[in-house]
Chains A and B, each alone.
Chain A
Amino acid sequence: MAGGLARKCGSALWSLTRRLSAPEFFTQCCYHSKVLDHYENPRNVGSLDKTSKNVGTGLVGAPACGDVMKLQIEVDDQGKIVDARFKTFGCGSAIASSSLATEWIKGKTVDEALMIKNTDIAQELCLPPVKLHCSMLAEDAIKSALANYRFKQNSGQQGAGQTSSETKPSET
């Protein structure tokens, strides 16, 4: 029982690869409690089947800080996002942003999910100005996943082997 719980906590914490080290802590003078909540209890960590036609995969990076984020969505036949997963390697704010993003997009349609802005994420998490780019990363990950889903849908309609004129897919 204890071992199972430890494993569960360990797997849930797998994306938290950068701890709040002392220099970071003092520089940012405390993460907001909401960020800490997502950092310690991230929602929807994991992966979906990238080969599935109904799964869109978004893969984005932030070269300034070296953060990498993958966000996947599963969309049903009515165009509603029924599942979302993320994997983020980066700071606490990036992890929290992507965790929140997957929470928000679940249950939304593809068009509704496109409306999510980084400013909404930043406001919800009370991100300081220096961490606004983390919320931007999450927004771009959502858009990238949606674009990949659309590309797959269009490719499926046009037939195998034809390329889409849309944005380059971020396939895994």
Chain B
Amino acid sequence: MSPALLVLVTLFVLAYGAVGIFAVRRRLLGRLALREAVRRRGQTLLVVAGLMVGTATITAALVAADSVGDSTVDAFAYNNWGYVDLTVTATNQFFPRDVADRLATSPAVARVVDGVSAGIELVGSVSDLTARQGTSGITLVGFDPGSQRPFGAFVLTTGRETYGQDLAPGAVLLSRVLADKLQAKPGDRLHVSVEVPGSARPALPVDLRVAGIARSEGPGAYTLGSVVFAPLATAQDIAGTDLINIVRISAPGGIRDSVQAGHRAAPVLARETKSLGSPIRLAVSEVKAREVKTAKDSTVFIRALLVGMSALVVAAGAALVINLIGMLAEERRSRMGVLRALGLKRSRLVGLSVTEGAIYSLAAGVLGTGVGIAAGRLVAARFGRAFAEFAGSDFDFTFHFSLKPATLLAGFVLGTLLTLAVIFLASRRTSRMTITAAIRNLPEPPPERKSRRWRTVRLAAFGVLGVLGLTAPGFPRLAGGIALILVLSAVARSRLSSRTHSTLTGLALAGWSFAIIGGSDPNADANTFFLVFVVAMLTSVFGLTLLASANLHVAETVVGLLGRAFAGLRAILRPPLAYLSRRPVRTGLTTGVFAVIVGMLSLFAVFFVIFRPDYQRFGNGYDVRVLSTGSATVELPAEVRADVIRFIDIPTRGYIGPLKTQGGFGGGERVFVPLFQVGNDVAEAPPVRLDQRDKRFDSDRAVWEAVARNPSLVVADFGSPGQKLTLQGRDGPVTFTIAAAQAFGLLDGVFGTERTLSPFQSAPLGASVLVDVRDNADAPRVARTIERDLFGQGVDADSIQKLLDTADRANRAFFSTIDVLMRMGLVVGILSLGIVGMRVVTERRHVIGVLRAVGYKRRHVMLGLMTEATVTATIGAAVGIVVGVTMGYLFYRQSASQPGFGIDLASIGGVLGLIYLAVLLVTLGPAWRASRLSPAEAVRYSE
């Protein structure tokens, strides 16, 4: 159990233990609480459903985050490396095989490892001469059959197992992903090309045959990608070398449990490797352990995103809980008043309602965990789809759903504790009653002001904390500003009218939140970013809700104007509007729930537009992309030349090795990163358009000029401008700063000048070609023709439209992952309105009776209540749209060069339609019941 979980469980035991002791010691009250809890079945069900939301959302987010995390680690750390725990490499250079042999025979090494094996790993191209299909970006993995045993056997699709010793000369195995791409079958003739710079001997034309297709398990899953597995001698022939470029080492244990053993072996290996006295710098790397860490880090963002989004829903859920407690308190007010008159202390009264609440919250916790598992499954499935879209057919990524007892416990405990805390606070508020008024069910007289001295001390303390907070960037600054605004607002309260006061406070809170978001550091770590985002979102929603509620008289005025045309309408709408504008806390609780959710959905509606790839722009006028990783020269076939207006040929290095990124995305120990080598005049004819630029640059041109000038600047498709990325160069790690990012999916990799990329000259050389075809030429057909004609060279050609569509699908799949959580939030909003509707019927019986007595017809009562609900939802939606769109705009401003600002109106419209429909459905019942109340209710006191 993690320390955090331990703390939570302890708190849980303490809190519920205290409630339990209270219930046992005050047996009468305990029994009373139980009675109240089971008295009205329908109401209990509603309350439990409402209290469940928090637990369900938290559980869903955690379960989904677990699934993403586990799937990522399983795939990118365990399956990716198989039995390999450590490697010895020389930063993209070749070295003698002797290194492996001497390590293998060293007794010190033998004591701590299972296996040592010489190998080769190179990026190249392949063509299936039988199926007449070729492809680029494959990895040639040379393995040594003689020492393969500790690394496991390849299991072929036929069920045959092999360590490679029984492979005939020239026989190779294909990974499943590659076989699918080539539509290759055992027996097919194969050609693999790699261009190794400065190789000792020219590559021989090697006649290769597919001996089998490896299943994605054990060594066959190695790299997860497109692989030609060749016995070392064959691989050396293909590469034209007698050397190797990797020693793979397996520590004792299986695929998943060898990390510790690997860690113990690492220092021994480092010592022994050093003692070899190799002229080339050899490095021992704990690849699997590091990959596990990288994989975990890369999911920090997703976990933070999920937890952040669920926090918004939980905040909405808390508002719902307050509403529910209010409803229960109203219903029981006179009963509780009698108990108080009979001598029950206020604290005991709080104990009574907390005990009742504890019963509900436990039931809700159990139910919520169940619902959370189901919802988490949905969210996880969305992520599975998104990952599949990103991986496309290039990766063997299997997503699986994880359910861990510790996570369920955490969701349950966190959810129920939060619920209980909110119940406690709400109960304290509602227990403040004037006994005589409560007994006779008369309206509560206004509360007396609290002691001024304490108030001053508290304000001063808050003020000091606020000022301190302002000095630190990020969350402390946001929180400090909020504290200061609240302090000022409290001080100014008596000097301003309540309307002016609320308006100014609301504006200040929203403005401050927006300012912080506008100036927030997009490269901050994910947890900080989401903390700031969630709090800013809630604060701006709160502020604007305050502002809107305080100014609802505007709506009254508008209705007043309408009233001139429709006499009587004014009378009918006056009470509901007055209830909304003069009960700002209650109105705010409900509108706030809507605002938060609609705000998120509006933000996504903006993201949809500003992140939508723009073919014309990102394509930079090119229509076809050709990739060749096996050879540096691409001759466009004569057949298409007539269709080609211009083309650009970018020398591309096939870097394969460790990649470290600042955000954690895309990093790993063995990543294929195409390095696009641009000329010093790249600014004259840039290959791609940029999607995001560092703020220092005000145009694409400025970026390319800087990249040409400064060898530490690159353009990359991953990470954000301003972030760093690190690759392994000839003489050690090389770190670049990302000046700008191109849209992903077009030319994925890193752009730099020859000078910038010089540490990687030993990486195989290929080419990337962008082709601009005539307007009336068929780009997909041109791509097909190029691929067919150059299949022997193993090139991939695709229309840019297709590439961008694929990227767009992946982007959308990613956004859709949050949908499920937001929908749970919408349910909270709708439930809130339903509950408010029910509260109205119990609480306003007398008022409705009076209105009916003085002449309101049944349909007037109904119309009034429906208006109240609709206006509530509308204010919520309006605040949400303002907050969401403003935040969207602020994010848009931060990434300088997106195509244009806009809002996906269809998606917002859909949500609004749904909201109004649901509002109608949940308020119709209570409104109808209210309209059936007898006018004689006005006269009678008791329930």
- The reply to whether chain A is a binding partner of chain B is no
- Residue numbers of B with Cβ under 8 A of A are none
Residue positions of A touching B, CB distance < 8 A:
none
